[in-house]
Structure 1
Amino acid sequence: MSSSTEFLSDFKDATQSVISTRRPWPQFLSLSSLSLPSSFSDATTRITQNFTFFLFNYTLIFLLVLLLTLLPHPLSILTFVALFAAWYFLYLAREGDEPLNLFNLVALNDMAVVVGLGFVTVVAMFVTNAWVNVVVSVIVWGLVVCFHGALRGTEDLVVDDHDSPYGPMLSGNPPPSGGGAGGYTRL
């Protein structure tokens, strides 16, 4: 298999993996799931659980807010698209421990790639004067995540117990050995 075919296959697999974690927008925006948290602790727990469950949705909201703040600056949009492509090709799309081999000239470790791309990203933000837009986008996105996460109840976000190694203990069903869940067993 050629490298371009392999790349397209890897890209397709990565895309399908990310898309498989998305949640339906009607579930995300369900008005019947909104309620006030009973305490600050309940609010922070809700935010954490909702952020974990709706990560893909929140990421799309961030990208939309960032795009809207960058609309008056087309050069910044092009720069960020190029940076996203660089992050994807040089860091995110690689296999686990496989070193980066850039045109068979030099092998870089993960830390060098992250530091290099991070430096280029920060420089690009300042050169294009987009750093204010990025900061505003992060603040708006953070407020949206906290507001939605605190108000959206988590009762209907129960993940299938069979996905958990503690499934029988959580569901209240007796384990296959016949003992009761939650009861004491003599050792």
Structure 2
Amino acid sequence: MSSPPTLPISSPQANISLGGQSQPPIATPAFRAFISRFYESVRQGFSQRRPWLELLDRTSFARPDSLTESASRIRKNFSYFRVNYLTLLASVLALSLLSHPFSLFVLLCLLGSWFFLYLFRPSDSPLVLFGRTFTDRETLGVLVVVTVVVVFLTSVGSVLISALMVGLGIVCTHGAFRVPEDLFLDEQEPANVGFLSFLGGAASSAAAAAAPAVAARV
């Protein structure tokens, strides 16, 4: 007597590929690495912030005698309170965008376009819109043009510039009137650290995470 025929067994992976499901529109490992590194850099930066009560100590405020003294105070206070100042700038920017929902929506769409259509899109997955296939160079060119138009020719740019000007005004005013004689940088922290060193650290970590995805398209 002959044995019954053996039924073929298909693996779940084969079923997925035969089911017609395509790759995800974004390279999740690279995106997760980007978010993880950026979050870790921001967390480490916030751990270096100074106490807010020290920032708002009324007994340490005095009018500067000259512009030279104001510039010296601002430079010293920037070195000491740089993380606090960046937090103030980010807060003013966030409040400004929240008060302009349309600008916030457009900015989020622009950032999402860069992330999903270029930076973290799989290099072997071409972009197809309206029945046309776009190369990486064409996608980059379109995104650059759209970014320039959105930032410089719409209300988004004015909202961002206004918020940054207000934030810088608050920071410079505080730095000019805050007497820095009682401020001492940590020994392991150089006194000439720039105001944007914390932001630069976060940006460099984010760039390092996004570098493999960008290099694959060059």
TM-score of the aligned structures, taking structure 2 as reference length:
0.53
| Residue in structure 1 matched with residue 37 of structure 2 by the alignment | 10
Are the equivalent residues in 1 in contact too, given 2:80–2:185 (CA < 8 A)?
no
Q: Which runs of 5+ in 1 are unaligned?
A: 91-99, 166-187
| Residue in structure 2 matched with residue 59 of structure 1 by the alignment | 86
Larger Rg: 2
Are the equivalent residues in 1 in contact too, given 2:103–2:159 (CA < 8 A)?
no
Q: Are positions 1:103 and 2:130 aligned together?
A: no
| Residue in structure 2 matched with residue 156 of structure 1 by the alignment | 182
Are the equivalent residues in 2 in contact too, given 1:101–1:107 (CA < 8 A)?
no
**Equivalent residues in 2 for 1:1-187 (5 A)?**
3=29, 6-7=33-34, 9-83=36-110, 103-104=122-123, 120-126=146-152, 128-163=154-189
Higher relative contact order (CA 8 A, sep 6+): 2
Are the equivalent residues in 2 in contact too, given 1:125–1:131 (CA < 8 A)?
yes
Matched pairs, number: 149
Quote the offset at 1:65 in angstroms: 2.2
Bigger mean CA offset, 75-84 vs 34-43: 75-84
Q: Residue 101 and residue 31 in structure 1: after superposition, are their counterparts in 2 closer, same or farther (change >3 A)?
A: same
What RMSD, in angstroms, separates the aligned Cα atoms of the two structures? 3.7
Mapped to 2, the partners of 1:30 and 1:116 lie a distance apart of 50
Mapped to 1, the partners of 2:142 and 2:79 lie a distance apart of 29
Are the equivalent residues in 1 in contact too, given 2:97–2:103 (CA < 8 A)?
yes
Are the equivalent residues in 1 in contact too, given 2:77–2:175 (CA < 8 A)?
yes
Per-residue CA deviation, residues 6-62 of structure 1 (Å, 9 max, x unaligned), is: 555424422322212322211111112111223221110111221232222222222
Mapped to 2, the partners of 1:84 and 1:22 lie a distance apart of 28
Q: Which runs of 5+ in 2 are unaligned?
A: 1-27, 125-134, 192-218
* Corresponding residue SS for 2:182: coil
Mapped to 2, the partners of 1:23 and 1:116 lie a distance apart of 43
Q: Residue 102 and residue 47 in structure 1: after superposition, are their counterparts in 2 closer, same or farther (change >3 A)?
A: same
Are the equivalent residues in 2 in contact too, given 1:67–1:77 (CA < 8 A)?
no
Mapped to 1, the partners of 2:181 and 2:109 lie a distance apart of 41
Quote the offset at 1:152 in angstroms: 0.4
Identity of aligned residues (%): 33
